[in-house]
Amino acid sequence: MRCLIWLLFLPGFLCYCVQGPVEVPKSLIAWTGACLSIPCRYQSCLLNPIRTNKLIINSLAWYLNPVFDPEKKDFSGTVLYKPSADISPAFAGRVRFLGDLERDCSLQLSDLRASENGSYGLRLITSKPGKQQEEKWMTEISVNVMDAPKDAHVELVTGSQIQEGTTVVLSCSCRAHPPVSSYTWYRNGQHIPAQTQQELRFDRIHADQSGSYHCEPQNRVGMSESPAITVDVQEVQITLKTPQRIREGDAVTLKCSVGNSNPPVTKYTWYKDNSQYQETQESVLTFPATEERSGNHSCAAQNAIGYRRSPPVSVAMQCDVVTLKCSVGSSNPPVTKYTWYKDNSQDQETQESVLTFPATEQRSGNRSCAAQNAIGYRRSPPVAVAMQWPCGDCYQIQTPIIVGVVIGDLVFTLLLIAGVYHCTKRCSKPTGNSEDQKVYMNMPGRVN
């Protein structure tokens, strides 16, 4: 038994490469643009220890991502080096075999590219001198080619037409190995805080979020900056281009403004109280102020892709205003507060002696004021403020009324200056002499 064991370890039997015929690293890390050197040395098992002559290397080839072909019973792939074959054109001028057929089998690849990441394989076919039997090996090394983000760009995921209030998603894309670990977003060159994901999302975008957007993807190797894209938010607004107070017969002008439209707007649709009433080719609509035209007006701008509707604006016929002045003949100390009453109920307190309000039917009633200083207060007699709404035409009535009361050192005067438009709906045509149908307030003179 001891003799048998001894014979198994006799010199001359140690020619089988248990660990493989070459010594190479299991994996390498490299960067794009760098020079990759794969160190490789033949193992001693390729030598015959008895006669000290080498095994014959019949074939040596380096492959990128070799694949075994079961039909041919051999490996194929992108040829990097093979003495009897042409290498792949993409590697021409960039590959050097640094070794020989004696001790070294190293390979060098310059200007490394991201696509050259993968498995590098050394194919060896050997035989013993004077024998036809061949031994074949494939030794593979994993090469991880790391690359900073390249070709970064921003895409508009939700389409080119952006309307205010809609959802908008921007996506930052690039090529990177290892994968991108974080993203930085910018608007008009300013960093957008707390946005580190690949997508930048606006659930309800506003017009003030229009601008130039770009991203910077980053991985452990480096970062890259994308070109900027412009985000134009289409904003449709309706503006009222008339005096602040609209009287019957005034010209009312509405303008439908579109912040941006591509293709251009082809039609404008006008609405009153959510009911469509007119279509125009122009963005401006003008009409006379009548009670029938009062209401909430909006517009919709339409192009070949779609349409967008504006928020409403109110068009209301307004009458004139009533001004009440509470006059104090004398006061020592000075008046500090004025209290206003309607039908003996307190209506308002002011620091000023003048009170102005719109002339409406709800404001009609008996008006009085009270002036107060540090000693006490005094209230004036009431003055009737009556809004009249007769059938027929509109009448402008000016009624100055001065009521004064002197008690002690305080004189209270309530001055009613009522420039009131009595604008009413048309009633049925009056019969008889229309002049007798008109109604006037008690005043010194009549103004038609």
The verdict on pTM exceeding 0.75 is: no
**CB under 8 Å to 81, separation ≥6 — which residues?**
61, 62, 87, 95, 97, 107
Is residue 413 pLDDT above 70, yes or no?
A: no
What helix, strand, coil percent values describe the chain, rounded to 5? Answer: 5, 50, 45
pLDDT, one tens digit per residue, over 236-249 is 665 656 556 677 77
Is residue 421 pLDDT above 80, yes or no?
A: no
Average pLDDT over residues 20-46: 87
Confidence of residue 430 (pLDDT cuts 50, 70, 90): very low
Average pLDDT over residues 166-180: 89
Is residue 170 pLDDT above 70, yes or no?
A: yes
Determine the pLDDT at residue 385: 81
Determine what percent of the chain is predicted with pLDDT higher than 90: 25
Comparing CA positions, the residue from 425, 378, 420, 385 lying closest to residue 401 is 385
The answer, yes or no, to whether the previous bond of 227 is cis (omega within 30 of 0) is: no
Confidence of residue 395 (pLDDT cuts 50, 70, 90): very low
Determine the pLDDT at residue 188: 93
The answer, yes or no, to whether the previous bond of 178 is cis (omega within 30 of 0) is: yes
Burial class (CB in 10 A: 0-12, 13-18, 19+), 289: buried
Confidence of residue 425 (pLDDT cuts 50, 70, 90): very low
Is residue 415 pLDDT above 70, yes or no?
A: no
Average pLDDT over residues 334-340: 92
Phi, psi angles (nearest 5°) of residue 250: -65, 155
Is residue 389 pLDDT above 70, yes or no?
A: no
Is residue 296 pLDDT above 50, yes or no?
A: yes
Q: Amino acid identity of 337? A: K
Confidence of residue 397 (pLDDT cuts 50, 70, 90): very low
All structural domains of the chain, each given as residue ranges with its CATH number in brackets, are 2-146 (2.60.40.10), 157-233 (2.60.40.10), 236-315 (2.60.40.10), 321-437 (2.60.40.10)
Average pLDDT over residues 57-65: 89
The answer, yes or no, to whether the previous bond of 263 is cis (omega within 30 of 0) is: yes
- Buried/exposed code over 129-145 (b: 16+ C-beta within 10 A; e: otherwise): eeeeeebeeebbbebeb
Phi, psi angles (nearest 5°) of residue 12: 105, -25
Between the ranges 201-205, 388-392, 427-431, where is the mean pLDDT highest? 201-205
pLDDT, one tens digit per residue, over 175-187 is 888 899 999 999 9
Is residue 216 pLDDT above 70, yes or no?
A: yes
Where is average pLDDT lowest: 71-80, 255-264, 333-342, 424-433? Answer: 424-433
Determine the pLDDT at residue 316: 78
- Buried/exposed code over 358-379 (b: 16+ C-beta within 10 A; e: otherwise): ebeeebbbebbbbbbbeeeebb
User: What DSSP assignment string belongs to 275-332?
Assistant: EEEEEESSSEEEEE--GGG-EEEEEEEE-SS-EEEPPPEEE-B---EEEEEEEES--S
* Residue with the larger pLDDT of the pair 418 and 286: 286
* Residue with the larger pLDDT of the pair 94 and 405: 94
Is residue 217 pLDDT above 90, yes or no?
A: yes
Question: What average pLDDT does the structure give for the chain?
Answer: 76
Determine the pLDDT at residue 201: 92
Determine the pLDDT at residue 264: 83
Contact 238, 310 (CB under 8 A): yes
Is residue 422 pLDDT above 50, yes or no?
A: no
Determine the pLDDT at residue 205: 85
Where is average pLDDT lowest: 37-41, 292-296, 368-372? Answer: 292-296
Confidence of residue 16 (pLDDT cuts 50, 70, 90): low
Determine the pLDDT at residue 210: 86
Structure tokens at 408: 């002690």
